[in-house]
A and B are shown apart, each in its own frame.
Chain A
């Protein structure tokens, strides 16, 4: 079985994240880039299955800036067999539709039985890519799984939706997304890091995938305005001297919050 895990490089949420006010693109220099934690958890699901099934091949796939190659290699160090990196400056401002079409083309090219993604990235938090991929790849989607069981010909799991808990299953091939309820990822060990250097790492352009990022015959979502909100400033800070609770009550009453 071939499992493709989509991984994403994101600005580290432990630091301040910035958007370029000219282009609306993420200001990559403003914060450290890391492999999105939810991507690591998605990879862990695949690797756990591969641990028990020798005939399983795990491929990490990413569409990101050229500089993200190092981050993607972490996936190889964790245990993926190979990596596919779609790196094309023409895709830097890709909207969700173009992103989905490009990823789907690369997934088709690699071939797959199962695609695993995180449910939401920590930067865009769009959460629609898994379903868009399933539509374009003409396979079922089972998203936001908080537990996953992979079998030779099917995948099933539990998803917590508004107002209920749902059990779903789908025949393979399929696209699934997982939530952070699934286990933390393993750390790459020294052996893994060394082995990663010798693993296949393919870099692809949009053209090689038959994608024209400038195709104006396709409807795209464009940014029409961007503004930075003034940062919140601290208000009053007091040290409790036995009347802290009363002072909060007064603050709430003054501001008509109760």
Chain B
């Protein structure tokens, strides 16, 4: 079984701490199918590969290579890098796509360093020309579009989570197990993993179609509930400015901006957010921006399609009831 198509694109599947296929897989497999034949690689603890392979095939994986090893849950990064190196040697892919997650970046970085491959990070999509695969990037908070490619050899690409909306067609499950010689590379030990189960029914911030964010203008953690209320009325994810996170209104995972999550939703509503450039860097690629702030000079209004200078505590409740009215 070494007959891999010349346009093979190797996709590293990520699993959640509970062993499910991570949500990043759908976008990665779709991106791969746009430029070639998606060959997925699953690195799991023993007995888990079949289920991951079925899920990956449903998302467009043409073939799934499986590496089952106990070290997947005990050693950090190295088992995935060893498996990726073995898979790349077998498949000779044109590109290797990995999620731009914390773990994905580590695996991609080590793999590129080990194999001497060119690496392109935080891509928002891939395409191809006569000479091979091209990665597309949106940099400096979306102010510039940059394309990159490898001078030769496979391009290793980390793909921004939630950036690829397309979905590939399901394919039949074709699972092959892959033997991986251990590299013996020194690894950190995973001592424990505590799965954090999302108790919220709200959409995940990354990749959400609508986002409602709150800033310091909300005044307190209790009053931040207004942001959540509007988000729920719109079926939106909840975000926040760094000021709101630093003030303890909401956990850091909700931070939108330069040092938080970058979002490009259809609709972004900024409540009580002044719009410092670091915040704008994480949201100004949104298709539509609505802002409410009591300061008429707040920079957020410079990027807002619709801005209301006013008090969030009167404007937002009115908006929520107007939306409720419409639903009736």
Establish whether residues A132 and B319, one from each chain, have CB atoms under 8 Å apart when the complex forms. no
B22, B24, B144: the one contacting A229 at CB < 8 Å is: B144
Residues of chain B with a CB closer than 8 A to A163's CB: 16-18, 22, 195-196
| Minimum Cβ distance to chain B for residue A220 (Å) | 5
Establish whether residues B109 and A245, one from each chain, have CB atoms under 8 Å apart when the complex forms. no
Q: Is A52 an interface residue (CB 8 A)?
A: no
Establish whether residues A248 and B190, one from each chain, have CB atoms under 8 Å apart when the complex forms. no
Interface 0/1 of A151-183, CB less than 8 Å to B: 000001001111111111111001000001100
Residues of chain B with a CB closer than 8 A to A29's CB: none
CA distance A184 to B141 in the complex (A): 24
B77, B143, B310: the one contacting A17 at CB < 8 Å is: B143
Establish whether residues A245 and B317, one from each chain, have CB atoms under 8 Å apart when the complex forms. yes
Q: Is A127 an interface residue (CB 8 A)?
A: yes
Interface 0/1 of A229-258, CB less than 8 Å to B: 101101111111001111111011101011
Residues of chain A with a CB closer than 8 A to B191's CB: 156, 167-169
DSSP class of B's interface residues: helix, strand, loop or mixed?
mixed
Chain A contact-residue range equals 35 or more
| Minimum Cβ distance to chain A for residue B86 (Å) | 16
Q: Which of A81-89, A93-101, A199-207 contacts B (4 or more CB under 8 A)?
A: A93-101
A15, A96, A228: the one contacting B112 at CB < 8 Å is: A96
Q: Which of A71-79, A139-147, A187-195 contacts B (4 or more CB under 8 A)?
A: A139-147
Establish whether residues B314 and A235, one from each chain, have CB atoms under 8 Å apart when the complex forms. no
CA distance A226 to B143 in the complex (A): 11
Chain B 183-209 interface residues, beta-carbon cutoff 8 Å to A: 185-196
B109, B119, B186, B190: the one contacting A130 at CB < 8 Å is: B109
Interface 0/1 of B294-311, CB less than 8 Å to A: 001000011111111111
Establish whether residues B290 and A159, one from each chain, have CB atoms under 8 Å apart when the complex forms. no
CA distance A104 to B304 in the complex (A): 45
Establish whether residues B315 and A161, one from each chain, have CB atoms under 8 Å apart when the complex forms. no
Count, chain B residues at interface, CB 8 A: 98
Given known pairs A174-B188, A236-B305, the reply for A14 and B277 (CB within 8 Å) is: yes
Given known pairs A221-B150, A253-B326, the reply for A131 and B319 (CB within 8 Å) is: no
Q: Is B225 an interface residue (CB 8 A)?
A: no
Residues of chain A with a CB closer than 8 A to B221's CB: none
B14, B118, B296, B308: the one contacting A247 at CB < 8 Å is: B308
Residues of chain B with a CB closer than 8 A to A136's CB: 113
Interface 0/1 of B114-156, CB less than 8 Å to A: 1011111110000000000010000110111111111111010
Establish whether residues B307 and A238, one from each chain, have CB atoms under 8 Å apart when the complex forms. yes
Question: Can you name the residue of chain B whose Cβ is closest to the Cβ of A129?
Answer: B109
Q: Is B33 an interface residue (CB 8 A)?
A: no
A129, A135, A166: the one contacting B193 at CB < 8 Å is: A166
Question: Can you name the residue of chain B whose Cβ is closest to the Cβ of A104?
Answer: B113
Establish whether residues B319 and A249, one from each chain, have CB atoms under 8 Å apart when the complex forms. yes
Establish whether residues A128 and B16, one from each chain, have CB atoms under 8 Å apart when the complex forms. no
Q: Is B76 an interface residue (CB 8 A)?
A: yes
Establish whether residues B284 and A232, one from each chain, have CB atoms under 8 Å apart when the complex forms. yes
| Minimum Cβ distance to chain B for residue A213 (Å) | 13
CA distance A125 to B281 in the complex (A): 12
Establish whether residues B306 and A224, one from each chain, have CB atoms under 8 Å apart when the complex forms. no
Given known pairs A143-B106, A236-B306, A248-B290, the reply for A19 and B144 (CB within 8 Å) is: yes
Most A CB within 10 A of own CB, among B122, B143, B253: B143
Q: Is A208 an interface residue (CB 8 A)?
A: no
Residues of chain B with a CB closer than 8 A to A248's CB: 290, 292, 306, 308, 315, 319, 322
Given known pairs A96-B119, A166-B193, A234-B302, the reply for A245 and B113 (CB within 8 Å) is: no
15 additional contacts, CB 8 Å, given A135-B81, A162-B16, A252-B267?
A: A13-B278, A96-B112, A97-B117, A125-B258, A128-B112, A128-B121, A130-B109, A142-B188, A163-B17, A168-B190, A170-B188, A224-B149, A229-B143, A237-B308, A240-B308
A-side interface residues toward B, CB under 8 Å? 13-19, 24, 38, 95-97, 100, 119-120, 122-136, 138-144, 156, 159-171, 174, 180-181, 216, 218-229, 231-232, 234-240, 243-249, 251-253, 255, 257-258
